[in-house]
A and B are shown apart, each in its own frame.
Chain A
Amino acid sequence: NAGVTQTPKFQVLKTGQSMTLQCAQDMNHNSMYWYRQDPGMGLRLIYYSASEGTTDKGEVPNGYNVSRLNKREFSLRLESAAPSQTSVYFCASSDTLSNQPQHFGDGTRLSIL
């Protein structure tokens, strides 16, 4: 049982390049989330998807787009990468029911030069 799988694990981009971060979960969860983690900042929510076919902005959505491809997969796209988007990106999933924990992948470490 893999849980939440993120690809790639590491990536280096040049400013202006585009990239899609992939996330898949095998726990049949309805809800999926994308966070970024910066030193001293904790985790900040970028986008989330409460169920298949819906997406909503989180705390820091500017510069990102998402696609909920199906129930299992939720991708995050950087259309024109900027150095300020250098961060560690985490995908998570959870059941829709109230009072449920989130399950996290191991992250994608993204550097933008």
Chain B
Amino acid sequence: SQQGEEDPQALSIQEGENATMNCSYKTSINNLQWYRQNSGRGLVHLILIRSNEREKHSGRLRVTLDTSKKSSSLLITASRAADTASYFCATAAFYGNNRLAFGKGNQVVVIP
């Protein structure tokens, strides 16, 4: 099964800086999704980008998708302490009943 792999694994930044995370995958996808997980909580959906899209924005989030390189990036601009969390990418295959294959996650710490 396909699986997202994030890079880097851990990131520590100052409040106000931008944070960038990357994700690579191995097979063709229908869409790629990014989720956030705060400590001790479930995953929260952030943004979904379809395989025919190259870039998508949602508030301070910017996601890019390069299907030729099988990679995606998540940019969080003007980070806040509340952005401290783990971020996961997940891929959905065509005809996969919306099943997701998750990467191992990036831990982001935003220092006030």
Contacts and interface: CB of A to CB of B under 8 A. Distances in A.
Interface of A: 4, 31, 33, 35, 40-45, 48, 50, 56, 58-59, 90, 92, 94-96, 98-107
B98 interface: yes
Given A40-B104, A41-B104, A42-B105, A90 B98 contact: no
B104 A42 contact: yes
Interface in B69-108: 88, 90, 92, 97-105
A48 B42 contact: no
Nearest to B43: A104
B30 A99 contact: yes
Contacts of B60: none
Interface residues of B, number: 26
A42 B102 contact: yes
Interface in B1-30: 1, 3, 30
A59 B100 contact: no
Given A31-B98, A42-B103, A106 B41 contact: yes
A75 to B, nearest CB: 17
Given A42-B105, A59-B1, A102 B100 contact: yes
A80 to B, nearest CB: 27
